[in-house]
Amino acid sequence: MRASGVLMHLSSLPSPYGIGTMGAAARAFVDFLAAAGQRYWQLLPICPTSYGDSPYQSFSTYAGNPYLIDLDTLAADGLLEPGEYRTIDWQSPPDRVNYGSLYQKRWAVLRKACDRLLQNPPAAYADFCAANAFWLPDYALFMALKDEHGGRAWSQWEPALRRRDPAALAAARTRCAGAIAFWQAVQYLFFTQWRALKGYANDHGIRIIGDLPIYVAADSVDVWSTPEAFQLDDDLQPTEVAGCPPDGFSATGQLWGNPLYDWDAMRRDGFAWWVRRIRVLCSTYDVLRIDHFRGFAGYYAIPYGQTDACGGRWRPGPGIDLFRAVEKSLGRLPILAEDLGFLTDDVRDLLRQSGYPGMKVLEFAFDSRDGGDYLPHTYPRHCVVYTGTHDNEPVNGWFETAPAPDIAHALDYLKLTREEGYHWGMMRAAWASVADLAIVQAQDLLGLGHEARMNTPSTLGGNWCWRALPGAFDEALAAKIRHQMDLYGRLPR
């Protein structure tokens, strides 16, 4: 069935409190999507962000991002007084997130709410802690210990804690009991609001597409609590780290720095770590997009300590065995595969064997720096087409920065005109294509350019900051989009 959706992270919603949240603006965006004839809202990972503020570098695979908790909802629930947060200067212009200000000011507000929650916790709180006992205690202890160590990475803690000596952990649980309770309460608040938002979206015919980053951050509870799942040396340092080789976009490649998985060890227990991760995320979202799918066919390994990605080499991944193990345990799941990057026959074979729809990015169709085959006349039906992703320019930004011959090719192929707007012509091409699902960036719906780019890979600073202005997603825009959905057979039936 033909359908369409919009890619927009929660942090990009309008808000008077410095960052988009799971409150009224999120529900208003659901209303907009429904009015515009959409069926999907695609998000970036909703996990806590760490160094660089990237949702792809998180302290935890399973936890939710405390910044996304809505403060007005907490006040309505009796956990905050309006004066405790509405008078705070979040030091953020309406169209940007100031993460430094959030880090300095948000925690004190959340502590007030959690203190009130823990004074008389509802029965649902104990139920939540019990249902999430496989990850929540370790996460809360990890965050409490980070606080105790001034935010330093776990690799810099004293040896007994780094190596999870049982006596040291027991002492820490006693010593940090108050902080542990706080971090558990924060997660209860997050997932209470998340379930309410997801329920609202589903009730209005909108399904949530979530994101599974292939790698986890080195400074994460995942690596600290299960070091045997990763390629670490005797001192618990990575032997090699993740990234991408040099290409047309970067002469030195991308050095992500994430520790790599010990696939042999994971294979021995039937990929239990991955089965659990996918099970949880498929219950968190309606549809799951698996990031960097090519890394399961073969992954790029860079020696630890390198300053760029030039010295890496390709190593074989787990291949179809991983996804067969997942399907054997969990059944057939609604999964999308981000099959972008350096594609080889083994990646194409893995996508075919998995049966998952792959991705087509319209900007790549005309960008000589990519070299992929993404022209719409080559698409199969069983795919998802995007104008661009969170790692790309908005359409108008692409036209500001792409090589002149590439721009000329796009203008000729798509017959784009300034009168209509290049962004509208590019979106129409996605909607008109044979792809079963078409996803456009929210920035493209608003006709924004380079200033609204979400992320520039392999850079630090200024990323993940864009926010939509209040009132940007109005009834007139919804009606215009809905007409396009009707024209191209993508209205919900």
Give dist(CA 372, CA 350) in Å, integer. 18
- Judge whether 158 counts as a catalytic residue: no
Annotated catalytic residue: which of 147, 148, 291, 346? 291
The one-letter code for the residue type at 206 is: I
Residue with tokens 């890979």: 457
- For residues 404, 409, 410, 415, the Cα torsion angle rounded to the nearest 10 degrees is 120
Picking from 11, 95, 23, 77, the residue whose alpha carbon sits closest to that of residue 47 is 11
DSSP letters for 307-360: SSSTT-EEEE--THHHHHHHHHHH-S--EEE---SS--HHHHHHHHHHT--EEE
Catalytic site residue 391? Answer: yes
Sign of the dihedral defined by the CA atoms of residues 316, 355, 247, 462, in that order? negative
Closest CA to 77 of 196, 181, 179: 196
Report how far residue 239's alpha carbon sits from residue 310's, in angstroms, rounded to the nearest whole number: 16
147 catalytically annotated: no
Q: Write phi, then psi, for 3 (nearest 5 degrees).
A: -150, 170
Which residue in 165, 308, 327, 391 is the catalytic one? 391
Alpha-carbon distances, residue 178 vs 64, 118, 143, 154, 253 (angstroms): 20, 10, 12, 20, 44
**Which residue is associated with the tokens 């194409």?**
348
Sheet with 383-386, edge to edge strand ranges: 335-337, 287-290, 207-212, 40-42, 3-7, 437-441, 383-386, 358-361
Query: Which residue is catalytic, options 338, 393, 406, 444?
Result: 338
CB 42 within 8 A of CB 6: yes
Q: Which residues belong to the active site?
A: 291, 338, 391
